Amino acid sequence: TVLDFCRKRRDVTAFFRRSWIPDETFFQTLVRHLVPAAEIENGTLTFRKEEKQLYLSNLRNAMFVFKV
Looking at the structure of the chain, the number of domains it has is 1
pLDDT tens digit string along 22-58? 877 888 889 889 998 888 877 665 656 667 677 777 7
pTM: 0.53
Element (H, E) at 57: helix 49-65
What does the pLDDT read at residue 63?
A: 61
For residue 45, give its domain range. Answer: 2-65
2 has a pLDDT exceeding 80: yes
Rounded Cα–Cα distance for residues 65 and 61 (Å): 6
What does the pLDDT read at residue 34?
A: 92
